[in-house]
Amino acid sequence: MSRPVAEWLERFETAVTAPTKADWKSVFSEECYWRDLLAFTWDIVTIEGQAAIAAMVLQQSARIGAGGFTPAEGTLPMSDDTQGWFTFNTATARCRAHVQLRDGRAHVLLTAMVELIGHEEIGGSRRPDGIAHRAEKGRRTWLDQREETARTLGHSVEPYCLIVGGGQNGLMLAARLKRLGVPTLVIDALERPGDCWRVRYRSLYLHDPIFLDHFPYLPFPDHWPLYTSKDKIADWLEIYARAMEIDFWGSTLCTAAQYDEKTGEWTVTAKRGDETLMLRPKQLVLATGLAGAKHVPHIRGAENFAGRQYHSADHGSGAGMADKRCLVIGSNNSAHDICVDLWEHDAQVTMIQRSPTIVVRADTMREGAKTLYYAQPGADIDLADLMFAAAPFRPRLASEKGFTDYLRQVDAAFYKRLADSGFQLWHGEDETGFFMAYYRRAAGYYIDVGGSELIASGEIPVQHGEIDEIVADGLCMADGTFLPADVIVYATGYRPMHEWVSLLISPEVAGKVGPCWGLGSGTAGDPGPWEGELRNMWKPTAQQGLWFQGGNLMQSRFHSLHLALQLKARMETLPTPVYRAAGAAG
């Protein structure tokens, strides 16, 4: 650790351990952000400004008992005269931290819990023996134990934690809870782990390069392709569930859940095949993905359409669509991918774009991603995740605008061709582009994997504006254009995730908890007030015992740790004093 950072660390330690006497102006710069992942707040928050930071530390310091601030060992990236890594403990946990200085004061501070003291994950030096080398009557083998768990968990033995949704989100969390010894059951409406991917359209591939996509504990082999087919990632989910010994019930539909505040227990109704079971976990995690039910806008006359019409979720493949006149309503990822798939199968495809769309080229993103620490051979993924987390959302606004400028420059010819073809391009209402659109509403963009060229070259014509009516043989646009059609695909997105709460639990609880995802940016689809972190994700919600686990593979990998730590701490009844700013709700 460089001397300036070490000197700052001393000042920080002094302030944190005696907050009533602290001179925060000497520790944090005017504009400052403290992003805390559980360490100080038992919450996922970014606290902005000296005053708010002072208030937080004043409230939390004694409850948390932070100490042992120590420069990190070894040579780490993001370490120089203006930034560095350190570790510390609280009364309950080991933590890692990174600070970025401006004029010797913290501009951005990240503090992150990584491990509970005395309740560590098994693994590494805590690896179990598996067997005792002595004869012993009544000894049970690994298989005996697995069979017993399969027989009893969810029946005579209640899981402490029930995860609804066995996609990558549910499985990664379950893997972490397994290593923490938290009895967990994962249920999923589909039969096998990975089916959530298998049911999607045949041509789907992951948009993120593989080095961002690793699951905890079991990295992909290094010949794994850079971009993974949905069927291959599906197989990986199944492999992962098995390797991690995750207790998974497929073909099991969660139909209702009710929380008893007195007992602190959920009663969850689950239909498993013909059986209806009542599960009584203490903690309920919804890992049903960012998307709720399919959203199909009501369009006048849709019921009169004589052809085939379906939601994008029901698109399997363009096979058999040759020469069919296909209208795809929407202009985001699914819309583009389905347009390409239909075109590849010789359909006559028209895209109906209802609003401007952010487009980024996958190949450009790939080049950018290659420079990330994640992509370096032998990268420490846990460290990489922390490095990524060291950029809170608010200061990212400026850098994302910069990234937009960069894209405009390197892909100028591409954007010009696309715009010239009539496609309505933008970079978001404040020009923060793709990443912010993802964090704000997880929609509104296309990661170009080939569709834009078809549009730019006129292979796929684009119609704009509002739709007036659907008739038996086509669709009338508001401007009077008639589009004849054999097939209409609604690539119109999904209902919001938190509607599941309303459906499964109650509208009251849904109202109390509020929306999930989004930053409160005040832009369309992401109403304020500013939250600074993704709403309700991986952190305590207004409903005790209810949690949300979701996001892309990167987020799911990283934040499943934080959710797992919170659940384990509660199971062990460790103190978990969640910080609530004065005047805040909840």
Residues near a second copy (CB under 8 A): 121-139, 141-143, 146, 179, 202-203, 205, 210, 217-218, 221-229, 231-232, 235-236, 238-239, 242-244, 340, 343-346, 361-363, 377, 448-451, 453-454, 459
| Minimum CB–partner distance for residue 237 and a second copy (Å) | 11
CA nearest neighbour of 442 among 562, 557, 329, 535: 535
User: Residues 100, 108: contact at Cβ < 8 Å?
Assistant: yes
Cβ proximity to a second copy, 370 vs 416, nearer residue? 370
Alpha carbon of residue 462 to chain centroid: 31
| Minimum CB–partner distance for residue 443 and a second copy (Å) | 21
Cβ proximity to a second copy, 182 vs 504, nearer residue? 182
Cβ proximity to a second copy, 145 vs 152, nearer residue? 145
Q: How far apart are alpha carbons 410 and 153 in whole angstroms?
A: 55
Cβ proximity to a second copy, 197 vs 439, nearer residue? 197
Question: Which residue carries 């949690």 as its tokens?
Answer: 547
User: Residues 431, 391: contact at Cβ < 8 Å?
Assistant: no
Residues 6+ apart with CB under 8 A from 298: none
Cβ proximity to a second copy, 174 vs 449, nearer residue? 449
Cβ proximity to a second copy, 21 vs 134, nearer residue? 134
Name the 3-class secondary structure at 127: coil
| Minimum CB–partner distance for residue 175 and a second copy (Å) | 9
User: Residues 170, 555: contact at Cβ < 8 Å?
Assistant: no
| Minimum CB–partner distance for residue 370 and a second copy (Å) | 11
User: Residues 439, 402: contact at Cβ < 8 Å?
Assistant: no
Number of neighbouring beta carbons within 10 Å of residue 221: 6
| Minimum CB–partner distance for residue 452 and a second copy (Å) | 10
Q: How far apart are alpha carbons 404 and 412 in whole angstroms?
A: 11
Cβ proximity to a second copy, 106 vs 244, nearer residue? 244
| Minimum CB–partner distance for residue 330 and a second copy (Å) | 17
How many Å from the N-terminal Cα to the C-terminal Cα in the chain?
39
Cβ proximity to a second copy, 135 vs 584, nearer residue? 135
Cβ proximity to a second copy, 361 vs 440, nearer residue? 361
Q: How far apart are alpha carbons 109 and 45 in whole angstroms?
A: 12
Cβ proximity to a second copy, 220 vs 530, nearer residue? 220
Cβ proximity to a second copy, 115 vs 430, nearer residue? 115
CA nearest neighbour of 226 among 344, 340, 374: 374
Q: How far apart are alpha carbons 60 and 16 in whole angstroms?
A: 10
Cβ proximity to a second copy, 175 vs 436, nearer residue? 175
Q: Is 335 exposed, middle or buried (CB count within 10 Å of its CB: 0-12, 13-18, 19+)? A: buried
Question: Which residue carries 């409160």 as its tokens?
Answer: 520
CA nearest neighbour of 106 among 208, 16, 178: 16
Ordered DSSP codes for 416-477: HHHHHTT--EES-TTS-HHHHHHHHHS-SEEEESSHHHHHHTTSS-EEES-EEEEETTEEEE
| Minimum CB–partner distance for residue 53 and a second copy (Å) | 37
Number of neighbouring beta carbons within 10 Å of residue 417: 16
Q: How far apart are alpha carbons 277 and 155 in whole angstroms?
A: 8
Residues 6+ apart with CB under 8 A from 317: 201, 202, 203, 341, 345
CA nearest neighbour of 31 among 113, 105, 130, 87: 105
User: Residues 541, 513: contact at Cβ < 8 Å?
Assistant: yes
Cβ proximity to a second copy, 387 vs 454, nearer residue? 454
Side-chain half-sphere of 51: how many Cα atoms within 13 Å?
Answer: 1
Tell me the sheet residues that pair with 444: none
Structure tokens given for 405: 């400028």
| Minimum CB–partner distance for residue 243 and a second copy (Å) | 5
Cβ proximity to a second copy, 175 vs 254, nearer residue? 175
Name the 3-class secondary structure at 336: helix
